[in-house]
Amino acid sequence: MKQGKTLSDIEHNRETILINDPDIDQAGDDHIFTGFATPLRQDAFKLSDAEKISTIAFHFREIMQILGLDLADDSLQGTPLRVAKMYVKEIFSGLNPVNKPDVALFENKYKYDQMLIEKNITLFSNCEHHFVPIYGKAHVAYIANAHVIGLSKLNRIVQYFAKRPQVQERLTVQIGRELQKILGTKDVAVLIDANHMCVSTRGITDTGSSTVTSFYEGRFLNEETKSEFLNYAGI
């Protein structure tokens, strides 16, 4: 008589499917993403930050235990809570719209109508496929019309969208579209040159390459204007 599967059998089969599923690795290695909006559930903000930190700490403790680490060790016992706080309050804080920077616009009293560039903005993000760092530089530019934006706000906008699990193409477009929305102009350019630790520390383990993505709209579609931007950015 054939016996039914035990819980152990079911768990073993589930793990085998997950570990050996080629589509999972292929999606990450091929840099697949689904669109320019960050994929969030409708109940993404149901839990408070404190509740998220508590829950993440519990589950990260489980991960560490599964890996065989001794959480009684003085160096490790606080790690689950530290990681949880880091996720919610720091490296993934851009998921929560309450952390979106307040941006004040100023009248363009000098009637400045040339290109303004903020280059070499330090960028730290995390790959959504493997949750390892992406780091590099962002260069952003716009051609002002009636209003201008405080220079530090350009940096803050980059950092806000970077502080979430990301794909570099999405990050580039999110920054560009946000600047267009704030400034009320199509004349925006964004270029990101970044290193991906999912490339340098796993898989192909290539430490010498970087990824460049760009966003050009409005007058930046003009080759002369685009070339001027790239020249100033040092690309």
pLDDT on residue 187: 97
Strands 115-127 and 133-143, sheet pairing: antiparallel
Q: 3-state DSSP: the chain helix, strand, coil percent, rounded to 5?
A: 45, 20, 35
Contact 227, 202 (CB under 8 A): no
pLDDT bin (cut points 50, 70, 90) of residue 128 is very high
CATH number at residue 56: 1.10.286.10
pLDDT for residue 225 is more than 50? yes
Cα separation of 223 and 219, whole Å? Answer: 9
pLDDT, tens digit, 9 for 90 and up, residues 54-110: 999 999 999 999 999 999 999 999 999 999 999 999 999 999 999 999 998 999 988
CATH number at residue 218: 3.30.1130.10
Domain count, the chain: 2
Domain identity same for 134 and 201: yes
pLDDT, tens digit, 9 for 90 and up, residues 132-154: 999 999 999 999 888 899 989 99
pLDDT on residue 204: 82
Q: Which of 28-37, 179-188, 215-224 has the lowest mean pLDDT?
A: 28-37
Structural domain span for residue 53 = 41-91
Catalytic positions are 127-130, 168, 196, 198
